[in-house]
Structure formats: structure tokens, C-alpha cells
């Protein structure tokens, strides 16, 4: 993922609270994807964005309460509205609501766009846009931006989907590609009998690394990838292994960020304790001061407790952090959190960090855990699980965060070895 940040203008949109928008129109792009054009209610232009960025949407849904989701803006900036293109997920609370109930005039709250999944500035290396499913949405926005402001750069647009029924924006992409001189290749993995190669799609079946190595400029291009996690797991590490360096490999995730380079998914969160249990615990701990409990946890070498300010500088570093990461307290305090984040994951981390600071909300503050890679003082990659707590001032503004991190590398390596053994057993012929 790129290290470049989002532009802001002198109107001060960055970090602002969400503004009310209304659905201006909706457009069916495929059997599973619908686009929604969103226009601000206050008459002011929407906050500016770069093609490829996403917005944060808040929706009040009956029976589900207030929901927060991130959706890629699928259109280039126009100074008047946003467009999001959403796949209807069978178990998706917000996506189903948007498809089934959001009509013209439906109100939503929208926070300013953010994200680092954006095109390089100016002319330069060839661009290869590689997507699957609804992952084509940022690529469509990028093509629109290139059509509006042409560059002297070769563009290749490669998209994978099941069939005509799921193929969104096909003719729009072809028109944009013609305008910018881009090459398009569409893969249909389950092409119907009525579909015609050369008309509805270009190649039947699945995209492969061999095809990419043969038909795209591996040694010189910037690769932009977006799609389901399995798709990214297949191609991000493979392209890196094929020689595409980190600075030319840009990718966007759907949902929870997981380590694409063979790290385990996060553990399931534990259910909250019943209120009677909480009351009993409070009663039993009445004789112990909260400060003493906090000091004991922070001073423990078991788990890492790392505090950071609103800018991401480390302000708290406990013995557990020193044990796990190897940096002394003197070395860590005042340093950026980058010292414990592997370089390929820093851009995504800061994107989420800034969003949390601005919105005052985090999905990892209520028991949800995330498995991520970490970096030690001696350069080793380790596997971590963590939760965070937000620090707020009297006005409710987020001033920093505290993360509790646990090294799960041994468990991850055991699981990896077990999966490998199971795969080997499954490959053995049955006698």
C-alpha cells in the first residue's frame, strides 16, 4: 500500500465530524452491485477526495442501531457528490439495508474521505489495475480521474468476476479505457453458455500468476490490487515473490486487515460478561484501588502495553513491550509507532489510526481482537493480537490510545505447521 496521504484543502475538512447526506439516486450495476449517488444536505461541496479513497458512512438502521461502514468512492472527484458501489452481502447488515431500503432521499451521515490507495502523482511507471468482484470500485474511480486529466502513462485494467450477472461497470470501463488508451482484460470464472468470448469477457477461468508474468510489465509497473481477501492472498505475496518491490505493490483490503503473507486471522471475541457478574467483581475488588490495579497491569512483563498520542508518538512503554519488541523504554518513548510496524503495513495502520482519532470510534475497543504482524528491534517479524482503548479529554476528543498486545508467534507457527501437515495428508493417494 502506498505511503502517500490524502490531500485536504483550506476549508479544513480533514478530521471533521460526519455531515448529513441524502441518496440522490441509485443505479443497478449488476445482479449484486448497486451504486448510490450521495449529495450533502447543507449545500456545501463534499469534502475533496482522491480517486481510490474511501468514505466512512453512518446509517441508523431499525433493529440494528447506528452502523458504521467504510465504502470506496467509485467515482472521480466532481465537487458535487460522491458515488459508492455496494455489493449486497447475504449477511451484511448495512449492504442489505442499502440495497433493500435506501431510496432517493434516504439520509446518511458521511465522514470526510481518507485512504492512501491512490495513484502516484504525475507521469511515470506503467499502471496495472488488478481487481476481483466489487474490488473494481477504486479502479473505476482511478480510470475516471485519468480520463478527466490524461497522463503520459500506460494503463492496464484486469478484472475478474464470475459472469455477466456479477460483472459491474463493464461498458463504462471499456469507454473509459478507450478514452485513456488503456488495455482491458476481463476474466469470467463461471461464464454462462450464452456468454461470448470477445464480447462479454476476454478469458474464461481464473487469472494466474503465470498469465500476469507473461502479459503485464512485472519489472517496471505499479500494481494496484483490490478484491476479496482470498484474491489478495493469492496475488500480493506472489507478485512480491516475482520481484515486484514494496514501493510498486499497492493493495486495498475489504473488511478486517489480515496479514496477507500467511498470518492467521483474529480470534473470535469473547462475549461480554453479564451485568450481575460485573457487579460481583466490582464488589470483590472494592478493597483494591483502581490505580493499584492499573499500575500492576502496566508494570507486568506479560503483555505489551503501549500508549501513543494523537500523532502516533509513543508515550507509554511497559516492561512487556520491552520484552516482546526489544526496545528499551528510553529508546521507545517519543518514537513513532512505526518502530514496531513492518513497512508494508504502515500506510494502512496510519489510515485507520487517523480515522479513529477523527471519529472517536474503534471496532477494537469492545473486545474485538485483530491479528497483525509486528516488528522487533532486531528486525524479526512476529505475530500479534491486540485490543485498544481510546483516551479522551473532557470534551470527548480523542487525545491518544493505549494498546494491549500479545505475542502469538508460537501459536501461529504451530497452526501453520498443522495446516501444512493436513494439506500433505490430503494429497496422499488413497490406497
The band of 268, judged by pLDDT with boundaries at 50, 70 and 90, is very low
Grid cell 470534551 in the structure block, residue: 395
**Residue 262 vs residue 164, higher pLDDT:** 164
pLDDT of residue 324: 93
Q: For residue 106, what is its C-alpha cell?
A: 434516504
pLDDT at 364 over 70: no
The dihedral through the CA atoms of 135, 139, 144, 145 has a sign that is positive
Identify which of 147, 145, 170, 143 has the alpha carbon closest to the alpha carbon of residue 156.
Answer: 143
The band of 287, judged by pLDDT with boundaries at 50, 70 and 90, is low
In the chain the first and final C-alpha atoms are separated, in Å, by 47
pLDDT at 322 over 80: yes
pLDDT at 290 over 50: yes
Q: 42-46, 161-165, 219-223, 353-357: which range is least confident on average? A: 353-357
Mean pLDDT of 4-17: 40
Residue-averaged pLDDT of the chain: 84
Percent of the chain surpassing pLDDT 70:
80
Identify which of 160, 156, 117 has the alpha carbon closest to the alpha carbon of residue 135.
Answer: 160
Mean pLDDT of 234-262: 77
Q: How many CA atoms lie within 13 A of 335 on its CB side?
A: 15
**Residue 409 vs residue 32, higher pLDDT:** 32
Q: How long, in residues, is the chain? A: 431
Task: Give me the torsion for CA of 394, 395, 397, 403, rounded to 10°.
Answer: 20
**Residue 224 vs residue 425, higher pLDDT:** 224
pLDDT of residue 277: 44
Mean pLDDT of 105-133: 92
pLDDT in tens, 127-142: 999 999 999 999 999 9
pLDDT of residue 389: 87
- Domains of the chain (ranges; CATH) run 19-114 (2.40.30.10), 127-137+147-252 (3.40.50.80), 287-414 (3.30.450.20)
pLDDT in tens, 175-234: 999 999 999 999 999 999 999 999 999 999 999 999 999 999 999 999 999 999 889 989
pLDDT in tens, 370-393: 778 899 999 998 988 888 888 888
pLDDT at 431 over 60: no
Contact 238, 143 (CB under 8 A): no
Q: For residue 21, what is its C-alpha cell?
A: 447526506
Give the Cα separation of 230 and 235 in Å (integer).
9
pLDDT in tens, 391-401: 888 777 888 99
Give 282-322 as a DSSP string: HHHTTTS-HHHHHHHHHH-SSSEEEEEETTSBEEEE-HHHH
Give the Cα separation of 318 and 291 in Å (integer).
16
Amino acid at each position: 500500500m502506498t505511503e502517500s496521504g490524502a490531500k485536504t484543502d483550506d476549508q479544513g475538512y480533514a478530521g471533521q465530524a460526519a455531515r448529513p447526506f441524502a441518496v440522490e439516486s441509485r443505479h443497478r450495476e449488476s445482479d449484486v452491485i448497486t451504486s448510490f449517488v450521495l449529495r450533502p444536505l447543507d449545500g456545501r461541496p463534499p469534502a475533496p477526495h482522491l480517486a481510490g479513497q474511501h468514505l466512512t458512512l453512518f446509517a441508523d438502521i431499525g433493529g440494528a442501531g447506528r452502523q458504521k461502514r467504510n465504502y470506496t468512492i467509485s467515482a472521480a472527484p466532481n465537487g458535487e457528490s460522491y458515488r459508492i458501489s455496494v455489493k449486497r452481502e447475504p449477511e451484511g447488515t448495512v449492504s442489505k439495508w442499502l440495497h433493500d431500503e435506501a431510496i432517493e432521499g434516504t439520509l446518511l451521515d458521511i465522514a470526510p474521505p481518507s485512504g492512501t490507495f491512490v495513484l502516484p502523482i504525475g507521469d511515470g511507471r506503467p499502471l496495472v489495475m488488478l481487481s476481483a468482484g466489487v474490488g473494481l470500485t477504486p479502479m473505476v474511480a482511478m480510470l475516471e480521474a485519468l480520463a478527466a486529466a490524461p497522463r503520459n502513462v500506460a494503463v492496464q485494467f484486469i478484472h475478474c468476476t464470475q459472469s455477466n450477472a456479477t460483472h459491474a461497470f463493464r461498458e463504462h470501463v471499456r469507454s473509459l479505457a478507450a478514452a485513456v488508451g488503456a488495455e482491458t482484460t476481463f476474466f469470467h470464472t463461471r461464464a454462462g453458455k450464452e456468454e461470448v468470448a470477445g464480447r462479454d469477457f476476454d478469458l474464461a477461468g481464473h487469472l494466474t500468476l503465470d498469465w500476469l508474468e507473461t502479459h503485464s510489465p512485472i519489472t517496471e509497473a505499479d500494481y494496484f490490487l483490490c478484491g476479496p481477501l482470498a484474491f489478495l492472498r493469492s496475488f500480493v505475496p506472489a507478485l512480491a515473490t516475482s520481484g515486484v518491490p514494496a514501493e510498486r505493490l499497492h493493495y486495498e483490503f475489504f473488511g478486517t486487515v489480515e496479514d496477507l503473507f500467511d498470518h492467521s486471522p483474529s480470534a473470535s471475541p469473547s462475549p461480554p460478561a453479564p451485568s450481575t457478574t460485573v457487579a460481583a467483581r466490582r464488589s470483590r475488588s472494592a478493597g483494591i484501588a483502581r490505580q493499584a490495579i492499573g499500575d500492576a497491569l502496566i508494570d507486568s512483563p506479560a503483555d505489551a502495553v503501549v500508549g501513543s498520542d494523537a500523532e502516533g508518538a509513543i508515550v507509554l512503554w511497559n516492561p512487556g513491550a520491552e520484552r516482546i519488541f526489544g526496545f528499551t523504554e528510553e529508546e521507545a518513548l517519543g518514537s513513532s509507532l512505526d518502530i514496531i510496524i513492518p513497512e508494508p503495513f504502515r500506510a494502512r495502520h496510519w489510515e485507520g489510526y487517523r480515522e479513529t482519532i477523527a471519529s472517536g470510534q474503534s471496532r477494537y475497543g469492545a473486545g474485538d481482537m485483530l491479528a497483525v504482524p509486528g516488528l522487533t528491534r532486531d528486525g524479526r517479524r512476529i505475530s500479534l493480537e491486540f485490543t485498544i482503548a481510546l483516551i479522551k479529554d473532557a470534551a470527548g476528543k480523542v487525545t491518544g490510545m493505549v494498546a494491549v498486545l500479545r505475542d502469538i508467534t508460537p501459536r501461529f507457527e504451530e497452526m501453520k505447521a498443522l495446516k501444512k501437515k493436513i494439506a500433505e495428508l490430503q494429497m496422499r493417494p488413497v490406497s
